[in-house]
Amino acid sequence: MAAPHVVLVGLMGVGKSSVGRALAREMKRPFVDTDSVIESNEGRTIADIFAVDGEATFREIERHTLESVLASTQAAVIATGGGVVETAACRDSLAVARRSGARVVWLSATVATMAERTGRSNNRPLLEGDREATLARLFDRRRAFYEEVSDAKIDTDGKPVTRIVREVMNAQPQSPAAAGGRRVRVELGERSYDVAVGAGAISELSSMIPTDVKRAVIVSQVGVPSIPEIDLPTHLVHIGDGEQAKTLSTIEDLCRQFAHFGLTRNDLVIGVGGGLVTDVAGFAAATWHRGTRVVHVATTLLAMVDAAIGGKTGVNLPEGKNLVGAFWQPSGVVCDTNWLATLPERELRCGWGEVAKYHFLAGDDLLAMPTDERIARCVQIKADIVAEDEREGGRRALLNYGHTFGHAIETVTGHRFAHGEAVAIGMICAAHLARLLGRIDDARVDAHYRVLDTYGLQSKLPSDLDHDALLVAMGRDKKATAGLVFILDGRNGLETVSGVDPAVVLESLASASGVR
C-alpha cells in the first residue's frame, strides 16, 4: 500500500527543493529529491545525462525513479523534476498516487523570479541561451499538465519559505463532489447529521453550521491545519498536545474561554484536529449551558474513521481512559482526506490501527479499496452501527474491538503508546484470548497479524509490561459491568463476552508477548 506522500511539482526555480526540505522538517518526514536520486543512482549529473544520452533517456530514468519513490510505504515529501509532467506515464503514476492518498501541490513563480533563481546553477541543460524566453516557453507547454496532476497551486513569489510551507499544509483543492467525495448520513431521527468525506471536503463546512448560530469557538491545537474563514465571529482556542491535555482542567479552561467570548447555548463549538480535540471539544460543548452544538473537522485518520463520529466525548483520569464524558452528537463532521498528507508517519499509523478493526467488523476487502473509499466505508460502517445502537447498549460495543486491552496498555505505559498503536496490539491480545477460549483457530489469529503487518503496525505486546497491572487496568474499563468484558472474534464474527477468567486473560497476554 503506497503512502500518502506530499509531492511538489513545478518548473525549475520555483523553490521545490528548499520548500520541500522545510516542509519535511515541519512534518517530521524524510525529504526525497528525485533529481538527486537520479544523480546518485547514475553516478553523474543531470547535465551529463542529457549531454551523453539525450533527453529521451533521461525521461525514462526519471519515470522509473518516480515510480520507485511513490511506491515507498514510508510517507515522504517528494520534490520532482520540472519536466516530470511531460511524460504521460509519470502523470499516470501521480494520478494513481493521489487516489491512494498522496497530495500533489504545484509551486509556481513568475518567469523573472525563476530566471533569477536558476541563474545560480549550471546544472540546467534545458536553459541554455535566453533563460527568461526558455522558461516562458516551458511554462506555456507544461501549464496544463501541472493543472492536471495537482490538487492545489501555491505562488512562491516574494514569500519566505516558512509561509509557503504553511500554505502547502493548509491548501484546499477542489470540492469533494468534483473529487469523488461523498456524504454519509448518521441516522438518529431529529439528531441525524452528515459526515462529508473526501478530498476537499472542508468546502462543506459552511453547510454543516446551523443557520441560527451567531458565533463560534474553534478548538484546535498548535500545528493543526487551519480552516477557511466562516461568516461568523469566531474565537480560536488552542489546547495542549498529548493525553496529558485530555483532563477536566482542560474542560474548565475551555468553558471559561466560552464565557469570556459570550458563547450561548444557541451558538457553536467547532473542534478542528484529531481524536483528542474532538473528544475534548465535544465534551466541553456537551457541558456548556447543558448542551451547545458542535461540529467536528477531523484532521487525522483516527478522528475520521472513529473519534469524530458517533457522539462519544470525554476526558481521562489517572485511573483510566475516558472515564468522564458524555454522549453528545455533533451537528456535522468534515473528513477532508487531503489533510492525511500533512500527518507525521506515526500519526498516520495510529489511524490505520483504528481502520484495522473494521476488517473484522464487516468482512469487507478494505485493502482492495482506494484510501478515500476505504475511509468512507469505515465511516459508513460506524454510522450504521451508531444509528442502531447510539449509547452502546448492544452492537456499538463491537466498535471497541481491541480497546479493552489497548486502553490498559495506554494507561499502564503512561501513554508511551499512542491510541491507535495500543489498539492494534490490543486486537492481537484479543485474538489470542479468543483462540484460548476456543472461539477461533490459529489461522484466524494469523489473519490478525497479516492485517496489522499490511498497515505497518506493531503487533507484539512488549515484554517489559506488567501483566498484573494490565489486568487491574482492564478491571476499571467502562465496559467491565460483569467481571472482565471483552469484544472477541468468533465463528459468528465479533461478539461481547462477559465474565472472562482472569487467568485466561493473563495467558493471552503471555501469548501476545511471544515472538512469532
DSSP sequence for 162-215: HHHHHHHHH---S-TTTTT-EEEEE--GGG-EEEEEETTGGGGHHHHS-TT---
Q: In this predicted structure, what is the pLDDT of residue 120?
A: 53
Quick one: 443 and 363 in the same domain?
no
Quick one: 207 and 340 in the same domain?
yes
Report the CATH number at residue 159. 3.40.50.300
- In this structure, are residues 208 and 185 in contact, taking their beta carbons and an 8 Å threshold? no
Quick one: 384 and 436 in the same domain?
no
Quick one: 149 and 45 in the same domain?
yes
Quick one: 166 and 201 in the same domain?
no
Element (H, E) at 79: strand 77-79
Report the CATH number at residue 490. 1.20.1090.10
433-447 confidence digits (pLDDT tens): 999 999 999 999 999
Whether residue 207 is contained in a domain is answered as: yes
Quick one: 252 and 143 in the same domain?
no
CA torsion sign for 347, 512, 356, 380 is negative
Boundary-marking domain end, from 388, 417, 445: 388
- In this structure, are residues 278 and 304 in contact, taking their beta carbons and an 8 Å threshold? no
Report the CATH number at residue 368. 3.40.50.1970
Strands 77-79 and 103-108: unpaired
In the chain, the number of structural domains is 3
Quick one: 424 and 477 in the same domain?
yes
One-letter amino acid identity for 57? T
Nearest CA to 489 among 508, 470, 515, 510?
508
Whether residue 309 is contained in a domain is answered as: yes
Nearest CA to 185 among 447, 321, 376?
376
Quick one: 166 and 99 in the same domain?
yes
Q: How far apart are CA 348 and CA 45, in angstroms?
A: 35
Nearest CA to 410 among 276, 272, 222?
276
Quick one: 315 and 411 in the same domain?
no
Boundary-marking domain end, from 170, 199, 219: 170
Whether residue 133 is contained in a domain is answered as: yes
- The DSSP secondary-structure symbol of 226 reads P
Quick one: 503 and 439 in the same domain?
yes
* The model's pTM: 0.67
Q: In this predicted structure, what is the pLDDT of residue 174?
A: 47
Backbone angles phi, psi at 136, to 5 degrees: -65, -40
Chain centroid to CA 219: how far?
A: 18
Q: In this predicted structure, what is the pLDDT of residue 271?
A: 98
- In this structure, are residues 465 and 412 in contact, taking their beta carbons and an 8 Å threshold? yes
State the residue range of the domain holding 217. Answer: 182-388
- Cell numbers linked to 104: 500533489
Whether residue 177 is contained in a domain is answered as: no
- In this structure, are residues 357 and 424 in contact, taking their beta carbons and an 8 Å threshold? no
Boundary-marking domain end, from 140, 170, 200: 170
Quick one: 314 and 206 in the same domain?
yes
- Cell numbers linked to 442: 490459529
Q: How far apart are CA 381 and CA 328, in angstroms?
A: 19
Element (H, E) at 376: helix 371-388
Q: How far apart are CA 74 and CA 318, in angstroms?
A: 35
Whether residue 394 is contained in a domain is answered as: no
DSSP sequence for 454-506: HTT---SPPTTS-HHHHHHHHHTSTT-SSSS-EEE--TTS-EEE-S--HHHHH
- The DSSP secondary-structure symbol of 390 reads T
Element (H, E) at 118: helix 111-118
Quick one: 421 and 346 in the same domain?
no
Q: In this predicted structure, what is the pLDDT of residue 64?
A: 95
- Cell numbers linked to 332: 456535522
Nearest CA to 297 among 322, 331, 326, 261?
331
Whether residue 396 is contained in a domain is answered as: no
Q: How far is CA 230 from CA 15, 83, 217, 343, in A?
A: 31, 38, 11, 24
Question: Pseudo-torsion of CA 466, 469, 474, 478, nearest 10°?
Answer: -140
Whether residue 175 is contained in a domain is answered as: no
Q: How far apart are CA 304 and CA 147, in angstroms?
A: 28
Whether residue 176 is contained in a domain is answered as: no
Q: In this predicted structure, what is the pLDDT of residue 179?
A: 47
List the chain pLDDT tens, one digit each, 516 residues. Answer: 556 899 999 998 899 999 999 999 988 899 999 999 999 999 999 889 988 999 899 999 999 999 999 999 888 999 999 999 999 999 999 988 887 778 899 999 888 888 887 765 555 555 565 678 888 888 888 888 998 899 888 999 888 998 898 888 876 544 444 445 688 999 999 899 999 999 889 988 988 999 899 999 999 999 898 898 888 999 999 999 988 999 999 999 999 999 999 999 999 999 999 999 999 999 999 999 999 999 999 999 999 999 999 999 999 998 888 899 999 999 999 999 988 888 888 889 899 999 999 999 987 889 888 888 899 999 999 999 999 999 988 899 999 999 999 999 999 999 899 999 999 999 999 999 999 999 999 999 999 999 999 999 999 999 999 999 999 999 886 565 567 999 999 999 999 999 999 999 999 999 999 855
How many other CB atoms are found less than 10 A from the CB of residue 369? 14
The SS3 of residue 438 is coil
Residues 6+ apart with CB under 8 A from 198: 176, 179, 180, 181, 182, 335, 336, 337, 372, 376
- Cell numbers linked to 427: 486486537
Burial of 348 (0-12, 13-18, 19+ CB in 10 A): buried
